[in-house]
Chains A and B, each alone.
Chain A
């Protein structure tokens, strides 16, 4: 049986053929974010991007669907900014398509000009679900979790 919480934590990693400083700038400069933020088929107009990359600073990126013009805002607050290796941002539980998440982005210098980026995202409800499971409702929640698979 899968833990209910495991479905609520997402880790994605990728090795990029670029030095860490270059990758860091791609994450922290609006005109670069504009080129890659969001899934395929979405465009990010520079005029709709604001980023204050410092702890406590806010960001907002509005992605627009190439297919039908639908707007998909991403917004949140930077919690940790450690150039060029660690970026933590929190997206609130409203107003955003991928909402209610804390994402930790770690950039590792592989020493050969490449950089590994690991994104660990935790959806807020996962902690609640796990706390609940630990409070003795595990059996019932396991059954409930079957609906989550």
Chain B
């Protein structure tokens, strides 16, 4: 499991401005200027947030030099959801093993 990637994803999602940017991109691709419009922060600040989102694999940016519209990438978010499923698997598996362990130690008073 790519823990570093997931850490980056969750770290990126922890910031409200970045979540707002993602929410905007969920409606369709947008340029930095378009993304900056609803926020009381500079285009440069939005640009920084985009870089974090890009590193986290949540966003891709177009190649065209000037506008470079950003687009949402679903995979990283899906991976975050998978991580949650993994968390559940961790505990389901642990409980299975705990069940076996408890049966084992109660078999007789003198085990080991």
Closest to A27 in B: B98
Nearest chain A CB to B111's CB is how many angstroms away? 11
The size class of the interface chain A forms with chain B is 35 or more
B87 touches A98 (CB 8 A): yes
A128 touches B14 (CB 8 A): yes
Chain B contact residues, CB within 8 Å of chain A: 1, 3, 7, 10-11, 13-14, 16, 19-20, 22-24, 26-27, 72, 74, 77-78, 80-81, 84, 86-106
Chain A contact residues, CB within 8 Å of chain B: 7-8, 10, 12, 14, 16-18, 22-23, 26, 32, 35-40, 93-94, 97-101, 117, 119, 121, 123-125, 128-129, 131-132, 137, 140-141, 143-144, 146-149
Given A125-B10, A141-B23, A149-B81, 18 additional A-B pairs, CB 8 A:
A7-B81, A16-B102, A17-B99, A22-B102, A93-B7, A97-B1, A98-B86, A99-B10, A117-B95, A128-B13, A128-B16, A137-B19, A137-B20, A140-B26, A140-B27, A144-B22, A144-B23, A147-B72
